[in-house]
Structure 1
Amino acid sequence: MADQARELSALLSSAAIVMVGGIMGSAAKLAERIVIGRLLSPDAYGEVSVGLALLTVSVTIALAGCTQGVSRFIPRYDSTSDKRGVWVSGLLVAIPLSVAFGTAMFLFAETLADRLFETGEAVTFVRLLAVSLPFVAGFRIAVAGIRGHENTVYRTVVRDVLDPGLRIGLIAALLLAGFGIAAAGVAYLLASVIALVVAHVLLGRLMPLVGDVRTHVPELVRFSAPLVVSTVVSILLTRTDTLMLGYFRSSYEVGMYDAAYPIAGGLLVVLSAFGFLYLPIASRLDAEGDREAVDDIYATTTKWVYVVTFPAFLLFVVFPEDVIGLFFGPEYADAATVLPVLAAGFFFSAAAGRDRETLSALGATSWIAVGNVAALALNVLINLIVIPRYGFLGAGFASVTSLISLHLVICTVLAVQYGITPFSPAANRTYLSLPAVLLPVAYVLAPAISISVLTIGPFLVVAGLTSLCVVAVAGGLEANDAVVVDVLEDTVGVSLPFVRRWLPNGESDEAISDASSPN
């Protein structure tokens, strides 16, 4: 139990660091969209959104699932030559594929521009994104190598701060200088080159990049092959709506949808924070035969992702008009209709926890592919039916439906085949009590509350503390939650005696105390 609590403490401590970086990274990505949205018209913003969706899909295909493979295999080897070989193997797969896809994207830029865009500048924009594709792929492999070494600080610096920060500065400067949508293409190209170099410099501090290499391409490909489908389909689940809106409807509607989408996507920040070290730790525990520890860590982190994410979900559902106006301005007021819908889908994704990474750690990647393919098929089918008639609101409905179906498949496999679930009597009380108590209260108080730059922070803080109190009173706390409360208090610098008073005493308390104390 002490080892299990120690792993949970390490994971949560890492999550606290990554969460700060994740918030910065998500804020930077949102700021990037806000800069583009406010300096361009909604139609032009929609054009940029379609182009970035193309880049995201292309990079994901080119990576061929190798990012998860690199992160999984590096911690399983002891020798530097093997660890270096895993990184090199990832590059050997991803770089040729990214060059091939980038070349195709460059050559067919005019065709893509005719089908998906409405401006002549789109050809230049698409070609700039095509040239940046290999640099983005190399950067992602380097970050996967850093993740495999379980280093949260370097990942936070390069992925959540440097890369989006460079893009924001370049996009703002170029747009203010009079560039059109091509400004985003130039910014992505330059930022990806710089981020690629810096990421490898940081990776070089974790292991020498020059020396003997024992490659593991066959192993990496065998593990990653099912993930090629699942990761590509996973990205398509998030980008198909944008691409199909661009095909069937106007760029204006794409702009409305992609104003609400990144805001709702912010609900995954907490989930992403837990995910950085989750895969390496879960993989190592499974390799040691300690599946019970995997179950416990998955259940505990899932419950707390739900708790910490709930205040933002409450904000997006109850105050969508205020939120859209605050970030994008009155020109994007129509986006408020789809924000609560998208928020529901992303919150459900967050509430499912790291279900896909858990299956990856167990080696059951084929089930991830099955779940993703089924969800994508459902997403495309519903989009074909609802987008022509209902536009971006229909796209939001399709997105939510497909996300729910995906996680239902993955969580069912975890429960039936491996006995791993996020449910327990205390957890169930947590999942039910928060929406049952806080949603009605928020709707009653909504007419008296206005969300602005000055009030959004206090609202989230008050909602967060209230959420903790509701969970405590409802009996949603368990003995292992002492580790979570320790890390939460250390992170925010605030004592939570009321919450501690409701922690049940159990045999694991001593183990948790030992795990939290210095050696």
Structure 2
Amino acid sequence: MGNEKEEFDSDLKTIAKSSVIVFIGIILSKVFSYFYTVIIARYFGPADYGLFTLASIITTWFVIISTLGLNNGLIRYISIFRAQNKKSKIHLIFRDSIKKVIISSLISFALLLLLSKFISFRFFNEPNLVSYLNFFAVIIPLTVVLEALLTLVLAYEQAGWYTFIHNFLIGALKVFLIGSFIFIGLGAYSIFLSYILSVLVALIFTIFLLKTKFSYVLKRVPKKTSKDKKLLGEIFQYSWPLLFFGVAWQLFHWTDSFVIGYFMSATEVGIYNAAEPLAFLLTATTATFMQLFFPIINKQNSKKNYNVVNELAKQVGKWIFMVNLPISIILIFFPKVFLGIFFGSEYLSAATPLRFLALGSLVFSLFSVSDKLITMKGKSKIILIDIIIVSIFNLVTDVTLVKFYGINGAALATMFSLVLLSVIFAVQSKRELLALPLRKKMVNLFFASIAPTLILYFLINKQLGVLFNLISLVSFFALYFLMVFLLKGFDRNDMLILRSALRKLKLRK
């Protein structure tokens, strides 16, 4: 029992520390991405920016398919074998997976080259898209191999290196290179070369990192035994449903826009898509905690430390709720403030959709923990079936509600779908592991939010301008966390993390 407590405390500190690193990485990634797209949009104009966007989307689909879903499989099985100290197994599955994704990505590269004219002329009627697709095809094998190599870094809980390469290095290089190439007069080639070279440099850097920290995985693999082949088959059986889960999840997100565009107009699609990214900000919080949560729970599950897994799920669920509750309150009660700041007054009609989407996203962000618990148990096919069922439900409700309620109906359909998927995940994780990402202290968090919300409502209604609203929002968060402390919303585990962080700050001083 004492050993389990030590492992729980250690893993909790690792997740908390990594979440800060990942959050900073996500912010930097968004900043670099924004600058990169702004440079393309402003310097090259709407036409080239549109071609760049289309090429990026098409290439992303080829990349997703080329991974074969093996990235998630690698993280799970490497974490398991790492806990069992079976380096030979890690070596085997890593090398085999790299070979598979190299072959699949080269096939995708060749296919995109062959289909570039067909896609450009038949689907988009854009002759200039051909050159974009031909150049972007090179990115497919580079990105697929890079992502596969980085799974080893992630499985070994090296969040710092993963974030540096994935979120900082690639983004910073893109911005620096496109600026440099534009300066020397390369024109549209600046887009192609900056994108390709940034990924190539990141790939080379990652290979050198693996040689330094994980050199054993780069050695030749001995001849495979029948047991080895059985293991590799098991990993593939686990991974392929996750590939289609990723595809289905993308389609789930696009359903609203497609249905609105079919029954209404492009204007309504644009207005609706002002609400959607704001609501899905709540999923960014989930991402900050999930990056190391998944490899850690796989490691503990393989050791049969089921109580540790259960407690980690509850604590991470509480952290997600603690951060997302005040954000969702702002989006639900004051949607026009955010829409006005980020998009302007012409998008204020997206206020009601934003309310519905924020509520659905809050519920789903919490029970994403249950999704990872089910995946940890190897039930990847169940996850695939879940998203297919909910995607069909989402499509049917979208079509039904958009006809009567427009964009409000689309948001309502997505909210129902997200809540339904959350309930399914919760029931399945409870059945499989007797675990739910819920703690009693969450009730304290809810009550802690009431007073700050009422005060913010009074201040916002004064309508004293954007600067006053921003100051009010900052004050709201400060008062919320003060109330969490006063109402004893922080538990022993929260105080453990806070004390650890304070000790490190004192040591640095």
- With the shorter chain as reference, the TM-score category is 0.7 to 0.9
Match of 1:69 among 70, 73, 88: 73
Structure 2 residue 141 is matched with structure 1 residue 137? no
| Map of 1:504 onto structure 2 | none
Note if contact 1:30-1:263 (Cα within 8 Å) is conserved in structure 2. no
Q: In structure 2, which of residues 433, 455, 458 is the aligned counterpart of residue 418 of structure 1?
A: 433
Summarize the Cα distance change of 1:427–1:102 in structure 2 as closer, same or farther, 3 Å threshold.
same
1:146 to 145, 150, 153: 153
Cα distance 1:162–1:252, how it changes in 2: closer, same or farther (>3 A)? Answer: farther
Residue 199 of structure 1 aligns with an amino acid whose one-letter code is: T
Q: Distance in 2 between matches of 1:154 and 1:32?
A: 23
Q: Which deviates more, 300-309 or 340-349?
A: 340-349
Matching of residues 191-210 of structure 1 within 5 Å: 191-208=198-215, 209-210=217-218
Which whole-Å CA distance do the structure 1 matches of 2:253 and 2:219 have between them? 40
Q: Does 1:372 align with 2:379?
A: no
Which residue in the other structure is 1:267 paired with? Answer: 282
Give the Å deviation of 1:233.
Answer: 1.9
Deviation at residue 210 of structure 1 after TM alignment: 3.0
Q: Distance in 1 between matches of 2:372 and 2:91?
A: 23
Asked whether the 8 Å contact 1:270–1:305 carries over to 2, the reply is: yes
Q: Which runs of 5+ in 2 are unaligned?
A: 223-227
Tell me if the contact between 1:46 and 1:258 (Cα under 8 Å) persists in the aligned partners.
no
CA distance in structure 1 between the aligned counterparts of 2:161 and 2:384, rounded to whole angstroms: 30
1:471 corresponds, among 466, 481, 484, to: 484
Residue 321 (structure 2) pairs with residue 306 (structure 1): yes
Q: For 1:103 and 1:391, how far apart are their aligned partners in 2?
A: 42
Question: Are 1:352 and 2:367 an aligned pair?
Answer: yes
**1:358/1:20 Cα in 2 relative to 1: closer, same or farther (>3 Å)?**
same
1:61-118 per-position Cα deviation (integer Å, ceiling 9, x unaligned): 2212211111122231435443333322222232322333344344334554467647
Matched, 1:84 2:91: yes
One-letter amino acid of the counterpart of residue 373, structure 1: I
Name the CA shift for 1:93/1:259 in 2 (closer, same or farther; >3 Å).
farther
Q: Secondary structure at the match of 1:289?
A: coil
TM-score normalised by the chain length of structure 1: 0.79
- 1:292 aligns with one of 304, 307, 313: 307
Distance 1:424 1:267, change over 3 A: closer
| Alpha carbons of structure 1 residues 484 and 46: separation in structure 2 relative to 1, 3 Å | farther
Aligned ranges 1:106-117 → 2 under 5 Å = 106-113=113-120, 117=124
- Rounded to whole Å, the distance in 2 between the matches of 1:469 and 1:230 is 40
The 5-angstrom pairing of residues 1-20 of structure 1 reads 1-20=5-24
Other structure's SS at 2:157 match: coil
Query: How far off is 1:157 after superposition?
Result: 0.4
CA distance in 1, matches of 2:402, 2:175: 31
Unaligned runs of at least 5 residues, structure 1: 495-516
Q: Which moved more, 1:444-453 or 1:376-385?
A: 444-453
Q: Does 1:482 align with 2:495?
A: yes
Change in CA separation of 1:462 and 1:241 when aligned onto 2, cut-off 3 Å: same
Tell me the SS of whatever aligns to 1:212: coil
Letter paired with 1:447: N
Query: Counterpart amino acid of 2:60?
Result: T
Shift of 1:299: 0.7
Larger radius of gyration between Structure 1 and Structure 2: 2
Distance 1:61 1:442, change over 3 A: farther
Give the equivalent residue in structure 2 for 1:23: 27
Show CA shifts across 1:169-219 (max 9, x none).
556778998978x97666543433332222332233321153132676324
Q: Distance in 2 between matches of 1:398 and 1:45?
A: 32
Name the SS for the 1:352 alignment partner: helix
Which is further off, 3-12 or 135-144?
A: 3-12
Distance 2:105 2:380 in 1: 23
Report if aligned partners of 1:150, 1:280 keep a CA contact under 8 Å in 2: yes
Q: Is the 8 A contact 2:242 2:380 kept in 1?
A: yes
Q: Which residue of 1 aligns with 2:219?
A: 211
Aligned match for 1:361, one of 369, 372, 376: 376
Contact 1:57/1:236, CA 8 A, preserved across alignment: no
Q: Which residue of 2 aligns with 1:98?
A: 105
Provide the residue aligned with 1:166 in structure 2. 173
Aligned equivalents of 1:110, 1:391: Cα separation in 2 = 37
Q: Which residue of 1 aligns with 2:461?
A: 447
CA contact under 8 A between 1:345 and 1:403: conserved in structure 2?
yes
Deviation at 1:359, TM superposition (A): 1.7
Name the aligned partner's letter for residue 278 of structure 1. F
**Contact 1:244–1:383 (8 Å) recurs in 2:** yes
State the match for 2:225 in structure 1.
none
**Percentage of identical aligned residues:** 22
Aligned equivalents of 1:460, 1:204: Cα separation in 2: 47
- Contact 2:368 2:422 (C-alpha < 8 Å) held by counterparts: no
Contact map agreement 2:173 2:198 (CA 8 A) in 1: yes
AA aligned to 1:290 is: N
Q: SS where residue 480 of structure 1 aligns?
A: helix
**Structure 2 SS opposite 1:64:** coil
Root-mean-square deviation (CA, aligned residues, Å) is 4.0
Per-residue deviation, 1:303: 0.8
TM-score (norm 2): 0.80
Partner of 1:60: 64
CA 1:380 to 1:196, structure 2 compared with 1: closer, same or farther past 3 Å?
Answer: farther
Contact residue 367 and residue 425 of structure 2 kept, 8 A:
no
| Cα distance in structure 1, aligned partners of 2:41 and 2:402 | 22
Q: 1:227 aligns with which of 237, 242, 248?
A: 242
**Deviation at residue 308 of structure 1 after TM alignment:** 1.9
Per the TM alignment, residue 269 of structure 1 is displaced from its structure 2 partner at its CA by 2.7
CA 1:401–1:113 in 2, change beyond 3 Å: closer, same or farther? farther
Q: Does 402-411 or 29-38 show the bigger shift?
A: 29-38
| SS class of match (1:217) | helix
Which is bigger in relative contact order (C-alpha 8 A, separation at least 6)? 1
**AA of the residue aligned to 1:142:** L
Distance apart, 1:452 and its partner CA: 5.6
Range 439-448 or range 58-67, more displaced: 439-448
Change (3 A) 1:377 1:468: same
Q: Which amino acid aligns with 2:305?
A: D
- 8 Å Cα contact 1:305-1:353 kept in structure 2: no
| Cα separation, 1, equivalents of 2:353 and 2:42 | 19
Amino acid of the structure 1 residue aligned with 2:165 = V
